[in-house]
Copies of this chain bind each other. A is one copy, B any other.
């Protein structure tokens, strides 16, 4: 039996970021009247403010949602394919590693550009109402209302909201309201590293200064610099570095210290960064948080999605992809439940939660891979063997490919990560593995492992 709130076909979405804007499009396509509230000003008028964005890497889960929303064409034009990683050693040597098979890539997109596009698309639906400069200040859990402060006037506004989607990010006000309810589990955990956005501007003439069809990484053990291409010929760079310690943000207090640090560790990047010092002081040093909560919903009428439910570190490039996949799954469940939110909301919350936990863990693990392991010859050998096995045995999917190039649930990928780690511990211990990396001993080891897992 459909929920009463459903017959009205009205929904409130809190947060007009990537997930909130995309989910609004999904709801509008289903015939919903959507009231979309956002704390910030309308970026369509104000222009996007960068400075702490981290570029996004759209992969298959993101595209699946974009496809399902019927808006691929509009998004595709701002995306740049990155079929592999380009590693920069301390002495400036380059080594390239494909992410997957020949036709597979992740796609660099600008957070601001994508968000703007999604808002424009949402705005084409007459039943979508935008309320920018509206900060969520209270949820009434007994009555179906929600209260916003209009930050331009300071006035409070309480509205009926029988159906609320909290897509308001890692510091979700909707989630803070749920946090005070009995038996609501919640964790916010910051990592030891902060990040700072920097830039490689276009070369004179507008071309990219370094290869645009790669995600560039300067892996340095406990820290790293990355660069993702933009359509305008620039790169958005991000430095990830501990806040405290021997090599850390707290040590970089003068122009000289910053210059010395970059000259020492990122010497081949420095010539491409003419605005380095200005960017370094002009952009904030931001922190990186993961959040977990349980449940993701309140009764049958409030649901957290995207970062509000599962904020993760950016190292797998899956934050936006995971949030977009929330939309895909919800939209599929909408059909399965014939639009009955009283079924969809608790079921989504229960089913999807293990995937949120899994991608949180995978993203933390991938930080170690990116900043440290990608510089390790044994790790590169593992990647080479994995790619070869992936070609030879179609049933074998390396974990990175599973996460980035399939829609297999994240919790399966996390389990597979543990299993593949066992496999490669064995394979890399084989005698003379460097020379015999695709020899019969590797096949034998692999086939035994596959047979074991078939028996599981």
- Chain A: residues with CB nearer than 8 A to chain B? 171, 179-180, 182-190, 243, 287
Nearest Cβ on chain B to A244's Cβ, whole angstroms: 11
**A182 contacts across to B, CB distance below 8 A:** 190, 287
A185 in contact with B180 (CB, 8 Å): no
**A183 contacts across to B, CB distance below 8 A:** 190, 243, 287
**A179 contacts across to B, CB distance below 8 A:** 188
The 6 sampled A-B contact pairs (Cβ below 8 Å) are: A182-B190, A183-B287, A185-B190, A186-B187, A187-B187, A187-B188
Nearest Cβ on chain B to A194's Cβ, whole angstroms: 9
Q: Which 9 A-B pairs rank lowest in CB-CB distance, beginning with the nearest?
A: A187-B187, A183-B190, A183-B287, A186-B188, A185-B189, A182-B287, A185-B190, A185-B188, A186-B187
Nearest Cβ on chain B to A184's Cβ, whole angstroms: 7
Q: Give CA–CA (A186, B185) in the complex, Å.
A: 11
Nearest opposing residue in chain B for A191, CB measure: B183
Q: Give CA–CA (A243, B183) in the complex, Å.
A: 10
Q: Give CA–CA (A190, B187) in the complex, Å.
A: 12
**A180 contacts across to B, CB distance below 8 A:** 171
Nearest Cβ on chain B to A117's Cβ, whole angstroms: 30
Nearest opposing residue in chain B for A194, CB measure: B183
Q: How many copies of this chain does one complex carry? A: 2
**A287 contacts across to B, CB distance below 8 A:** 182-183
Nearest Cβ on chain B to A307's Cβ, whole angstroms: 16
Q: Give CA–CA (A389, B279) in the complex, Å.
A: 66
Nearest opposing residue in chain B for A291, CB measure: B186
Q: Give CA–CA (A175, B190) in the complex, Å.
A: 16
**A184 contacts across to B, CB distance below 8 A:** 188, 190
Nearest Cβ on chain B to A77's Cβ, whole angstroms: 36
**A190 contacts across to B, CB distance below 8 A:** 182-185
Nearest opposing residue in chain B for A186, CB measure: B188
Q: Give CA–CA (A187, B188) in the complex, Å.
A: 6
Nearest Cβ on chain B to A361's Cβ, whole angstroms: 16
Q: Give CA–CA (A16, B161) in the complex, Å.
A: 38
**A187 contacts across to B, CB distance below 8 A:** 186-189
Q: Give CA–CA (A180, B185) in the complex, Å.
A: 17
Nearest Cβ on chain B to A248's Cβ, whole angstroms: 14
Q: Give CA–CA (A189, B179) in the complex, Å.
A: 11
Q: Give CA–CA (A185, B191) in the complex, Å.
A: 9
Nearest opposing residue in chain B for A288, CB measure: B183
Nearest Cβ on chain B to A364's Cβ, whole angstroms: 14
Nearest Cβ on chain B to A179's Cβ, whole angstroms: 7
Nearest opposing residue in chain B for A182, CB measure: B287
Nearest opposing residue in chain B for A190, CB measure: B183
Q: Give CA–CA (A262, B429) in the complex, Å.
A: 59
Nearest Cβ on chain B to A135's Cβ, whole angstroms: 13
**A243 contacts across to B, CB distance below 8 A:** 183
Nearest opposing residue in chain B for A188, CB measure: B186
Q: Give CA–CA (A179, B444) in the complex, Å.
A: 53
Given contacts A182-B287, A185-B189, 16 further A-B contacts (CB under 8 A): A171-B180, A179-B188, A182-B190, A183-B190, A183-B243, A183-B287, A184-B188, A184-B190, A185-B188, A185-B190, A186-B186, A186-B187, A186-B188, A187-B187, A187-B188, A187-B189
Looking at A184, A188, A189, A243, which has the most chain B CB atoms within 10 Å of its CB?
A: A188
Q: Give CA–CA (A155, B182) in the complex, Å.
A: 27
Nearest opposing residue in chain B for A187, CB measure: B187
Nearest opposing residue in chain B for A180, CB measure: B171
Nearest Cβ on chain B to A8's Cβ, whole angstroms: 32
Q: Give CA–CA (A180, B172) in the complex, Å.
A: 11
Nearest Cβ on chain B to A351's Cβ, whole angstroms: 18
Q: Give CA–CA (A187, B184) in the complex, Å.
A: 11
Nearest opposing residue in chain B for A185, CB measure: B189
Q: Give CA–CA (A81, B232) in the complex, Å.
A: 77
**A188 contacts across to B, CB distance below 8 A:** 179, 184-187
Q: Give CA–CA (A187, B243) in the complex, Å.
A: 22
Nearest Cβ on chain B to A185's Cβ, whole angstroms: 5
**A186 contacts across to B, CB distance below 8 A:** 186-188
